[in-house]
Structure 1
Amino acid sequence: MVKTKVLERIKGSAKKLKRELFVLLLAYKDSRVPWYAKVFSILIVAYAFSPIDLIPDFIPILGYIDDLILIPLGISLALKMIPQSIIEDLRIQANEIKHKEKPKNWFVGILFVTLWILVAIWFGRLIYQLSSRA
């Protein structure tokens, strides 16, 4: 019971962070937002989605500190730089965009699946050739 509540709280926090990151992305594109807030917002969004971290994730415990502390702290600071009325407008925009029907791009999906199949075939042949030489 306690684990379920903690897990639900963590999931809720993660969804809120994701929404706030989207708000910051929209803030970067909004002309009402000051330039310094735009710069800071896009840096936070870029860092959040970047595969490169200040502390690599493979380092035990410390590797996740940036994900657990730096990103939420950066989001909080960026939101404080933007006037509250603009943030409310951007949250409404983000919510509307979230609930729109997203178009499906079957061509890109098929392209990626085909690419992965070709990579698997190539890798399988490579392993077969290496094992037959031994």
Structure 2
Amino acid sequence: MNLSTLKARAQQLKQHTLTVYFAARDPRTPFFVRVLAVLVAAYALSPIDLIPDFIPVIGYLDDIVIIPLGLAAVVRLTPPAVLASARAQAQQTASRPVSYSAAVFVVVVWLAVGWLIIRWVINAART
């Protein structure tokens, strides 16, 4: 597996994730599909795993299997009209340009706020 294949698969996973996100927000999506989408997203973002990630190979295996299976289940259970609409929204969102200057600005602001908080805590501890 080469780098271009990995990039293509990562882009495809991003596309599926956005599709599931938009499908879950659509009011035409059945309630249980919405719940499944939230559970898959929560598991993907949760620091708690079935098998801890520090265990070599097996630790990441549950993430590699469970998350794509959950995404696939949500896609299969979503009504076709909702899925088509969600795919169109995901395609439009993924094709938007990324503003790296805005990202740098946000990071700089957060670093400045963090520095001010640390400085305030240190000054409060001295008094």
TM-score by length of structure 2 reads 0.76
Please tell me whether the aligned partners of residues 15 and 94 of structure 2 are also in contact (alpha carbons under 8 angstroms).
Answer: no
What residue is the counterpart of 1:96 in the other structure? 92
1:54 matched to 2:50? The reply is: yes
Residue 113 (structure 1) aligned to one of 111, 114, 124: 111
What residue is the counterpart of 1:130 in the other structure? none
Structure 1: unaligned runs, 5 residues or longer: 122-134
1:12 matched to 2:8? The reply is: yes
1:85 to partner: Cα distance: 2.6
Q: Which has the larger radius of gyration?
A: 1
What residue is the counterpart of 1:75 in the other structure? 71
What residue is the counterpart of 1:29 in the other structure? 25
Deviates more, 1:65-74 or 1:44-53: 44-53
Please tell me whether the aligned partners of residues 24 and 42 of structure 1 are also in contact (alpha carbons under 8 angstroms).
Answer: no
What residue is the counterpart of 2:41 in the other structure? 45
Q: Higher relative CO (CA 8 A, sep ≥ 6), structure 1 or 2?
A: 2
SS at match of 2:13: helix
SS at match of 1:31: coil
What residue is the counterpart of 1:128 in the other structure? none
Please tell me whether the aligned partners of residues 52 and 59 of structure 2 are also in contact (alpha carbons under 8 angstroms).
Answer: yes
1:84 matched to 2:80? The reply is: yes
Deviates more, 1:97-106 or 1:29-38: 97-106
Runs of 4+ more than 6 Å apart? 118-121
Structure 2: unaligned runs, 5 residues or longer: 120-127
Q: How much is the aligned-residue C-alpha RMSD, in angstroms?
A: 2.8
State the distance in 2 between where 1:57 and 1:119 align: 32
What residue is the counterpart of 1:64 in the other structure? 60
1:16 to partner: Cα distance: 1.2
TM-score by length of structure 1 reads 0.72
Please tell me whether the aligned partners of residues 32 and 86 of structure 1 are also in contact (alpha carbons under 8 angstroms).
Answer: yes
Deviates more, 1:17-26 or 1:108-117: 108-117
